[in-house]
Structure 1
Amino acid sequence: TGEVVRFYITNVANSRTFNITFEDTKIKLVASDISRYEREDWIPSVVIAPGERYVVDVQFGSPGNAIIANTIQAINHFRGEFYPRVDTLSNVTVSNQKNGEDLSGSFELLRENPEMASDIENLELYFNELPDYELETLVRAQNLPTPIVISMESDTLYVPPMEWNDAMPMMNWLSTAEQVTWILKDKASGLENGDIRWQFEQGDIVKIRIFNSPDSFHPMNHPIHLHGQRFLVLNRDGSRNQNFVWKDTAILPVGSTMDILVEMSNPGEWMFHCHIAEHLHAGMSFNFVVR
């Protein structure tokens, strides 16, 4: 009872975003992909997309069995219904016995990270600049069986910002990368996926705006991932981020616009892609070079 446990969480699923809840606990957000947060914070759950990593401290309360679960608001597209769904990920036995050092006092403190604050101060002059590049996420489908096309037309009457559950397993099973292409489109050049060839110099600070179009055939949320570099999520839909952390993966909901500021610090040829494996396999990636 009262024990504080640090969890290092990585989402290695190919497509599923989790909303991880800890029963009868307090959860403190500490760090994400590449750094600690600017400030520690209390959170109700951990929303984690494929490829993301989070570090949280959890204090367990009453003795008994505490469930770690994926707690989501699922959707049935065809019936137009939301319904709660809870899948147990793990069970934790909480005993009366005291184990190890009592960390309750430090757990209650929300610490600040001076290194992150210094990074923000050095980069703040770029925050309000116009984006250097703009990307749009789309999907293109061809030669799908007629029943799937008809069902998809009704399916997209409403598209949730986040797709927590697989509401169309038959469509996913029947379609292939030969029929469905997931797209990253450079708005300035019109180039898509592997035809995009961005070039940078080491030390460049690059602002990229990414828009997840809700008007494509079947829009979905995308975990956007950059290899070899780190970035800050500056804002989402015009709302400035209030607690920065260095990332290499960030979720982009349907209909949302996200501005990221990338520090091009690592020379080489690197990949920019969606971290949903099926989307990557169906074309949603390109390479960029840092010289």
Structure 2
Amino acid sequence: MKPRPSSLTAFAAAALGAACALPAGAAPDMAEHCRQMPGMAGCEAFRLPAAAAPAAADAPAMQLPGAGLPAKPAQPTPVVELKDGDTYRLRAEVVTRTVAGAPLRLYAYNGSVPGPLLKVRQGSRVAIEFENAIDQDTTVHWHGLRIDYRMDGVPGVGQPPVPPGGRFRYELSFPDEGMYWYHPHIREDFQQDAGLYGNLWVLPADARAYGPVDRELALIVDDVLIEDGRQVPFGRDAATHALMGRFGNVMLVNGDTDVRLQARVGETLRLYLTNAANARTFALSFPGARMKRVGGDGGRYERDAVVDTVTLAPSERAIVELGFDHAGRVPLLHTTPARRYELGRIEVAAADAAPGATELRENADVQAAIAALVERFGDAPPAHVLSMHVERAGAAAGHAMDHAAMGHGGPAPIEWEDAMGAANAAATSADTRWVLRDEAGGAENMDVRWTFRRGEPVKIRLRNPAGGLHPMQHPIHFHGQRFVVLAVDGKPVDNHVWKDTVLVPAGSAVDIVLDPSNPGEWMAHCHIAEHLSSGMMIGFRVE
């Protein structure tokens, strides 16, 4: 194993936040845990009247975004079209907004949440003049783009952190079409959840890449945590909700709690969906509409497919097309095994047009680019195996979820809600360590230093054991590269798409082929923001 460069050590310190030496304190007891989720199996004996949670002896300091800074009302999200060679100014600042009746202080790019929808053409180059007007160091990570690593927004690797009042010029290029997004890469658990995110739409150079549609829309799903009519503050020096991640209880689409869209019978809408939530996986459907999935993280699938639901882990994207045969109301639903959320609706007006047919296109160019990887690596053993674990310090170790001891059986492949309530909220990145472990040599997190050669694909197995302290799903994201998912639990995938993030459910193993096409110093990490803040990241180099 090669020693890690000092730049990556600096990144780890920045990503985890400053001075995280907070005592674990006293954790809530089982009765309080079940009070937060009284309907949970195994909690029948603990269904007590509501009571205040025991206070931790040394609770972490908490704060709201931009405390003490002036804030202006949030503005609607603009659409900004950038041509080759353009320069655009992007500013992180503090805004106020009312959501579900609760007044919120938020961070925002150029005054809107989500930030401006940036539209560029594949093959173009633009510059972003970024200004930091919030009260924390920050950067901008251009998620999914295969760009110069010095523009990737990773502090201590390609750039220094941008301090309050500071500026940085990002020079971006766009080799791949698709829907990407941008967000901070310092204290994502705080800054991203507080509103710093936006879409970057790369239009294909070939206008015929996708089929004809009547309209195209970008939708970002998210959630926000509001209790007793108030915004729940964030850990000032360390991430809270470090076990499961910070789940919101109010769902948002493009920043709204009840998004309304319009269509007509016979029309086709193409929707570009992005999950910007810290921890929540969404299962999205449009009952009453015909839906086909045409694209994912890095553009088009090998072939279109009719689907009922698309599942998006944090940071994943999907491109779907909806057809409408009848007038009426089509809800946008997020459905879990235990609950259904209505996130919005499409009002479909009557029209004389006949319902359209569902054409399933084959994308020969995507198939040709991926076929050789699948054939070469499908049955090959992995070159690397990366496994996922969690550790907790001292007394806090007793307050992770032990499914067997609680009579729940094995872990659910996906935890759709915060099943731990106050115990999760009390866990911080100071007492919780999430781990990515190289099974070959035992190196963990930023002690993992893989080196790949440009143009030489590599097969990697991502293994998420069902046992351990708190097994749960992990969306694993690779910076600056793209990959193909070969198999899940040994079952080959039969329709491929270029990816930058893949969900690894608890108890599963996912095989990918990484295409190391972009030289530089990079990282891979869990995209549950609190897990990243708790150390769940590795470094790799492409030479």
How high is the TM-score relative to the length of structure 1?
0.90
Q: CA deviation at 1:126?
A: 2.4
* Between 154-163 and 191-200, the greater mean CA deviation after superposition: 154-163
- Indicate which of 375, 383, 388 corresponds to 1:132: 383
Q: CA deviation at 1:155?
A: 7.1
Q: How far does the alpha carbon of each residue in 1:126-176 deviate from its partner, in whole angstroms, 9 at most, with x for none?
A: 222111101111111122458735877427643101111111121111111
Q: Secondary structure at the match of 1:119?
A: helix
* Between 143-152 and 24-33, the greater mean CA deviation after superposition: 143-152
Does structure 2 conserve the Cα–Cα contact (< 8 Å) formed by 1:144 and 1:175? no
Q: How has the CA–CA distance of structure 1 residues 283 and 171 changed in structure 2, closer, same or farther, with 3 Å as cutoff?
A: same
Q: CA deviation at 1:202?
A: 1.0
Which residue pairs with 2:368 in the alignment?
118
Q: Secondary structure at the match of 1:154?
A: coil
Which residue pairs with 1:26 in the alignment?
290
Which residue pairs with 1:79 in the alignment?
none
Matches of 2:471 and 2:418, distance apart in 1: 14
- Indicate which of 66, 78, 88 corresponds to 2:342: 88
Matches of 1:150 and 1:8, distance apart in 2: 35
Query: Where in structure 1 are there 5+ consecutive unaligned residues?
Result: 74-82
Moved over 4 A (4+): 149-153
Matches of 1:150 and 1:189, distance apart in 2: 28
One-letter code of the match for 1:186? D
Q: How far does the alpha carbon of each residue in 1:96-147 deviate from its partner, in whole angstroms, 9 at most, with x for none?
A: 1368xx7824xx1111110121123322222221111011111111224587
Matches of 1:225 and 1:139, distance apart in 2: 18
Matches of 2:288 and 2:371, distance apart in 1: 38
One-letter code of the match for 2:533? H
* Between 153-162 and 2-11, the greater mean CA deviation after superposition: 153-162
Q: How far does the alpha carbon of each residue in 1:192-242 deviate from its partner, in whole angstroms, 9 at most, with x for none?
A: 001101111111211001110111101010111100001010001110011
Q: Secondary structure at the match of 2:301?
A: strand
Matches of 2:351 and 2:356, distance apart in 1: 15
Does structure 2 conserve the Cα–Cα contact (< 8 Å) formed by 1:198 and 1:289? yes
Does structure 2 conserve the Cα–Cα contact (< 8 Å) formed by 1:194 and 1:286? yes
Does structure 1 conserve the Cα–Cα contact (< 8 Å) formed by 2:447 and 2:538? yes
Does structure 2 conserve the Cα–Cα contact (< 8 Å) formed by 1:21 and 1:69? yes
Which residue pairs with 2:510 in the alignment?
258
Q: Secondary structure at the match of 1:104?
A: coil
Query: Where in structure 2 are there 5+ consecutive unaligned residues?
Result: 1-264
Which residue pairs with 2:394 in the alignment?
143
One-letter code of the match for 1:62? H
Matches of 1:229 and 1:215, distance apart in 2: 31
Which structure ranks higher in relative contact order (CA pairs < 8 Å, sequence separation ≥ 6)?
A: 1
Which residue pairs with 1:272 in the alignment?
524
Q: How has the CA–CA distance of structure 1 residues 232 and 145 changed in structure 2, closer, same or farther, with 3 Å as cutoff?
A: closer
Matches of 1:216 and 1:54, distance apart in 2: 32
Does structure 2 conserve the Cα–Cα contact (< 8 Å) formed by 1:144 and 1:179? no
Matches of 1:144 and 1:61, distance apart in 2: 58
- Indicate which of 428, 437, 451 corresponds to 1:199: 451
One-letter code of the match for 1:190? G
**Aligned Cα RMSD in Å?**
1.9
- Indicate which of 28, 35, 45 corresponds to 2:299: 35
